[in-house]
Amino acid sequence: MLNKKAFFNVRLNLLIRRLVGYVLLGCALSLLFVNFARSQGEPFVSSKAVSQYLEIASNRDTFYIAIHFRIQPDWHLYWENPGDSGLAPVVNWGGSRIFALSPLEWQLPEIIKVGPLVNYGYSKELWLLYEVKLRQPVTKGDLLEFVGKVEYLVCKEDCLPGEANLSLAVKVSDQDKISSDYQFIQQAKDRLPSYFQEFETRANLVGDLITISITPPVRLSDPYFFPRDQGLVQNLSEQQFSIDQNRLELRLPKTLNFSETIKNINGLLVGFDHNKERKGYVISAPLMRSEVASDNKLPFAAVELSTSANQYGALTLLFFAFVGGLILNLMPCVFPVLSIKVLSLVKSQGVDKQKIKAQSLAFSLGVIFSFMIVALALYVARFFGAEVGWGFQLQSPRVIFVLAILFFVLALNFFGAFEIGQGLQNYFGKLRYDSQGILGSFFSGLLAVVIASPCSAPFMGVALAGAILSSPFFGILIFCSLGIGMSLPYLLIGLVPQVARFLPKPGAWVVTFKEFMAYPLLATVLWLITILHKQSGFEGVFLLLIAFCVVIFVTRLSRDAKAFVNLINHILFLIAVLLLVFFTYLVGDFSFVASIESKISNQESLWRQFSAKSVSEELAKGRSVFIDFTAQWCITCQVNKRLILRTDYIQELFLKNNVTLFVADWTGRDPEITRALEAVGRNSVPTYLFIKSQGEDPRLLPSILTQGMIEELFK
Amino acid sequence: MKKQLLTLLFSLLVWPLAVFALDSKSAVGQPAPDFSAVDLDGKNVSLSDYKGKLVVLEWFNEGCPFVKKHYESNNMQKLQERYATKGVVWLIINSSGEGKEGYKTPAGHKQTWQNWGIKATNFLLDTPGTIGKLYGAKTTPHMFIINQQGVLVYAGAIDSKPSTAAKDIPGATNYVSAALDELLSGKTVTVASTNAYGCGVKYAS
């Protein structure tokens, strides 16, 4: 009985056990099946979490773990940017209070070409590395547990998704005990991309091409740039590059959907070193947008500045240009001539109102027309590759020479030394310079712009930079609105008769006023002489003084109207003009000597000659940098220089705060300075730039400086 | 005289503005190139047949896990159905080369159409890959939207979460439906271009 019962019990036991077994098996099978449904990639890729150490000593605070994938031949996994298609593996680790994991460190990817598409990924095997850092002290017997999950896409030509659970345990004991994977992880670590030490990386967008240059050239054969972000450059199986002794340069076509907001170019530069080993460098460079070929770029290139031109809307820029034009009227080099123009309008008050209207319109058109010519000249010059900005005319000593003579002639005229209407008219014959006529008004409009060119009003800087950096058509629009601003007072007088009524009545005082106005003109002449001195030295100034004598001689010619004397006068006048033309030609040749002189004199002071390279060097030394973009012909620059920048107090302030001072003298044409200005969104002087430390955003100071603004920099 | 001068001044101001308005660079914002292809019934279909309508182009490969994600979750069919009722034309294009993944006979594709309950307007065959390369289609799915004026107004991904897992769909921003909603209410597309994700299009060469 007992036996029977026992037997039955055993049978029951067995049955139950089997049942449980089947259920368990079924569950396991279904789990396996479910898992297989999600992880079809499993047959083609296997993954496993491994560690450098099986056991670590309790005083170790960091080591590496890895996920090791074995990939079947012809199949591949993807890099963090998979390229045209595909998907990078995604790993999720559970958190821990004992340790922290670094971000995933990717191995150098390979180029995988599939038809017309290019992918970035890995074949055969892949080690995904993580650095483990212990957050708190551990003691013997503690267990570090790593639990996570990886999801991946594995492709041959077809793609299969896969996933795997990861788990790994590392024990804390007396001493380190390396695992069998130690040396593989070590090798994978050695293959990780490195960071550039003494190389300077620059990225520049010119048209549809992104140029990445590395100076000095890194020694890599067959370099290839793997963009880390999608949508930067078109993924091509072969990329264009060039190496010379100065730099390695890659030229990559940007993508069609390249976003205007992209500020940085990030990725890897991979090639083969002298041992034919594959080597990669991390590239991270601010992207410069410029129409000029990349050369001597500044380290602070693509940073958006708070006051840069691009920030303003089109309408604001137009408004600035308009106001700038209006302010031009008050400049010392313009005011005399234009006030006389107003007076000539006043004189004709009694005359036909219709005539006044026509005259003021003709004058305004003359102003606008010549601004358009300036704009066109600017764009034509840029089209042919010249690097010019506002004030570019004044960079040529010949232009300064001619302007000085022009102002001198005007001053003489204001003093009453000769009358243009009577004297020069004889020589120009048919082309009557009649200051009262329509044509005369048009030409005085042209003249007004010529003499306004040395005076760059504060508002104009930003507006002009905006014009130059945007499309030519908008640029012309900007210049147009400058012209309208400048001619507004005359338009008002001409078109609104009520305004004219407010002007003073003409009388004898007009002659006195005119003579008085000659002095600002002479002052302008003196100022032009100082520029000429800087540009072409003493020889240039000497020639100018001779030219003045010639001019005085010419103004004394036209006294006698007898026929015979007149003929001699004609001949003498021609000779004088030819002499002036010859002098003007000569002046251009002196500029070289002067530029060397100015460089030497600059080095003597605290202010160093600007160059992009020395700026980068100073920043690398941990110093701050202040750059004074200036020119002899820029009045605002000179005022700022005398009243603020070169005062003992400010100089000392700079010294105390470890600032290296640079002066970028734009008096002559200097492409490097033009590019530097462009890099910060400006195209005119004065521009003041302060960079506190390497990597920090540069600060752009206003055009008119105060002591407080400089003090503010160090607060 | 005065009037003429004023006209001149005015035209000087307006003429550059007009040129300004035409300035554009990328493919999005350009007229969509016309194409014609054969559908599953052997009928010829051209893009120009749908002039004046909103057209969606969807690059398709039934073997691709990214495509499966959106069809097995019924996500794509729901989109097709919702916008069909609003008059949007939805064209599926298959650019798989012969013998490549996703290549099938018209009958095979019809089977897939039935199995998945596809609700698109039509299914076009592009075995030589001409249309795919014309539009720069890189992945399946790769989505394009052409507006009523025939201008390409969206190119890129279906949504914001590149993955093969259907669980990511609810949390993702669907760029295509966002763009279509904007277009249907007369607005311009905010996100007009994204990076497409998926399997590479299996071009014949």
What confidence tens digit (pLDDT) does each residue in A523-564 have? 888 888 888 887 777 788 888 999 998 888 877 775 555 556
d(C-alpha B143, C-alpha A522), whole Å: 70
d(C-alpha A215, C-alpha A390), whole Å: 31
Per DSSP, the residues of B1-26 read: -HHHHHHHHHHHHHHHHHHHHT---S
Band of residue A308 on the pLDDT scale cut at 50, 70, 90: very low
**Average pLDDT estimate for A612-636:** 82
ipTM: 0.74
Least-confidence region, from A136-140, A605-609, B35-39 = A605-609
Chain A nearest-CA distance from B85, in A, is 31
Report CA Rg, chain A: 38
**Average pLDDT estimate for A676-683:** 77
For residue A108, the 8-state DSSP code is P
**Average pLDDT estimate for A393-416:** 79
User: Tell me: the pLDDT tens digits for A279-294?
Assistant: 899 888 888 875 433 3
- Residues in B touching A155 (Cβ below 8 Å): 199-200
Which one, of A688, A603, A600, A584, lies nearest residue A645 by Cα?
A688
* A155 vs B13, B16, B199: nearest CB: B199
* A257 vs B9, B155, B201: nearest CB: B155
Interface contact A473-B139, CB threshold 8 A: no
- 8 Å CB contact between B94 and B125: yes
The amino acid at residue A569 is: N
User: Tell me: the pLDDT tens digits for A211-227?
Assistant: 888 887 788 888 899 99
pLDDT, position A305: 30
**Average pLDDT estimate for A141-168:** 88
Chain B nearest-CA distance from A56, in A, is 37
Which site among B195, B202, B203, B205 would you substitute to test the A interface, given the most A Cβ atoms closer than 10 Å to its Cβ?
Answer: B195
Which one, of A265, A247, A268, A266, lies nearest residue A200 by Cα?
A247
Q: Which residue has the higher pLDDT, A168 or A444?
A: A168
Q: Determine what percent of chain A is predicted with pLDDT higher than 90.
A: 10
* A87 vs B8, B15, B163: nearest CB: B163
Least-confidence region, from A104-113, A166-175, A360-369, B103-112 = A360-369
CB atoms within 10 A of CB A188: 20
- 8 Å CB contact between A158 and A109: no
Q: Burial, A286: exposed, middle or buried (Cβ in 10 Å; 0-12, 13-18, 19+)?
A: buried
The amino acid at residue A535 is: Q
pLDDT, position A432: 40
Q: Which residue has the higher pLDDT, A53 or A598?
A: A53
Q: Above 50 in pLDDT, residue A299?
A: no
- Residues in A touching B195 (Cβ below 8 Å): 230-231, 257
Band of residue B158 on the pLDDT scale cut at 50, 70, 90: very high
pLDDT, position A434: 46
Least-confidence region, from A52-66, A125-139, A645-659 = A645-659
d(C-alpha A492, C-alpha A356), whole Å: 11
- 8 Å CB contact between A423 and A344: no
B126 phi/psi in degrees, rounded to 5: -130, 55
Interface contact B198-A85, CB threshold 8 A: yes
- Residues in B touching A115 (Cβ below 8 Å): 97, 200-205
3-state secondary structure of A410: helix
d(C-alpha A235, C-alpha A141), whole Å: 51
Query: Searching chain B, which residue's CA lies closest to the CA of residue A160?
Result: B65
Least-confidence region, from A129-138, A298-307, A547-556 = A298-307
**Average pLDDT estimate for A480-503:** 78
The amino acid at residue B160 is: S
Q: Which residue has the higher pLDDT, B60 or A197?
A: B60
Q: Above 50 in pLDDT, residue A433?
A: no
Q: Which residue has the higher pLDDT, A237 or A402?
A: A402
B78 phi/psi in degrees, rounded to 5: -65, -40
3-state secondary structure of B102: coil
For residue A423, the 8-state DSSP code is H
Structure tokens at A617: 């060097």
pLDDT, position A297: 37
Which one, of A395, A362, A401, lies nearest residue A378 by Cα?
A395
d(C-alpha B122, C-alpha B37), whole Å: 11
- 8 Å CB contact between A589 and A560: no
Interface contact A473-B13, CB threshold 8 A: no
d(C-alpha B76, C-alpha B82), whole Å: 10
d(C-alpha A289, C-alpha A301), whole Å: 9
Q: Which residue has the higher pLDDT, A281 or A21?
A: A281
Q: Which residues of A touch B (CB under 8 A)?
A: 40, 84-87, 90, 114-117, 119, 151, 153, 155, 157-161, 230-231, 256-258, 357-358, 361, 365, 368, 372, 471, 473-474, 476-477, 480, 484
Interface contact A90-B20, CB threshold 8 A: no
Band of residue A513 on the pLDDT scale cut at 50, 70, 90: confident
Q: Above 50 in pLDDT, residue B150?
A: yes
pLDDT, position A290: 59
Interface contact A116-B17, CB threshold 8 A: no
d(C-alpha A712, C-alpha B114), whole Å: 72
Q: Above 50 in pLDDT, residue A594?
A: no
Q: Above 90 in pLDDT, residue B39?
A: yes
Peptide bond into B31 cis (omega under 30): no
Size of interface A-B (CB pairs under 8 A): 102
Q: Determine what percent of chain A is predicted with pLDDT higher than 70.
A: 76
Chain B nearest-CA distance from A453, in A, is 22
pLDDT, position B96: 92
d(C-alpha A466, C-alpha A681), whole Å: 8
**Average pLDDT estimate for A19-27:** 59
Structure tokens at A177: 């005990």
**Average pLDDT estimate for B132-156:** 91
Q: What does chain A come to in residues?
A: 715
Pairing mode, strands B89-94 and A699-701: unpaired
Chain B nearest-CA distance from A638, in A, is 35
| Average pLDDT of chain A, as a whole number | 76
Partners of A76 in the β-ladder: A123, A155
d(C-alpha A302, C-alpha B194), whole Å: 23
Band of residue A457 on the pLDDT scale cut at 50, 70, 90: very low
The amino acid at residue A594 is: A
d(C-alpha A69, C-alpha A355), whole Å: 90
H runs (alpha helix) in A76-216: 182-190
Q: Which residue has the higher pLDDT, A296 or B97?
A: B97
Band of residue A596 on the pLDDT scale cut at 50, 70, 90: very low
Q: Above 70 in pLDDT, residue B48?
A: yes
d(C-alpha A676, C-alpha A672), whole Å: 6
- 8 Å CB contact between A257 and B28: yes
d(C-alpha B141, C-alpha A393), whole Å: 57
d(C-alpha A82, C-alpha B198), whole Å: 10
The amino acid at residue A62 is: T
Interface contact A153-B65, CB threshold 8 A: yes
Pairing mode, strands A264-272 and A221-227: antiparallel
Interface contact B16-A256, CB threshold 8 A: no
| Average pLDDT of chain B, as a whole number | 85
pLDDT, position A227: 92
Peptide bond into A299 cis (omega under 30): no
pLDDT, position A575: 86
pLDDT, position A431: 39
Which one, of A164, A146, A191, A155, lies nearest residue A53 by Cα?
A146
Q: Above 60 in pLDDT, residue A54?
A: yes
**Global pTM value:** 0.49
